[in-house]
Amino acid sequence: MKITIETIPHGDQRYPTAGDWMFDNDHLVIRVSDLGDWRYSMAVGLHEAVEALLCRNDGVDGRDVDAFDFAYQELHHMEPGDDPAAPYHRQHCFATAVERILIAALGVSWAEYEAAAENL
């Protein structure tokens, strides 16, 4: 398996999100909005990688994740994976735990990190 994490301009995302993942056969492609600090962008990237790998492991289809995310963005202004109705809620929660550990290990304030993502 190949995993690519790339930082892109926020306006180039498929929908308004800081991070997005998709599988192309055995290639996991992760696109992260440029948050102005490589630590922030890579924390989002790691979150996306963990979430995608857990979804693949648990049989959660990326198309179902996309369908939920795209529809959810039209109705709500919160992180779709935080909603217990999300087909990948459990995987998202584990990915957030890993993301929080990385942010702490990098010596970054979670509040500052979240603010950067919210200001996209």
CB 30 within 8 A of CB 49: yes
CA of residue 74 relative to chain centroid, distance: 18
pLDDT-derived band at 16, boundaries 50, 70, 90? confident
Question: Rounded CA gap, 46 and 101, in Å?
Answer: 11
Specify which residues 7 forms β-bridges with: 32
For the chain, the structural domain boundaries read 2-118
pLDDT at 66: 96
State the first-to-last Cα distance of the chain, in angstroms, to the nearest integer.
31
Residue 73 above 90 pLDDT?
A: no
CB 97 within 8 A of CB 89: no
pLDDT at 68: 95
Q: What is the dihedral of CA 3, 88, 117, 67, to 10 degrees?
A: 90
pLDDT at 10: 95
DSSP state, 28?
E
The H-assigned helical ranges of 59-88 are: 62-75
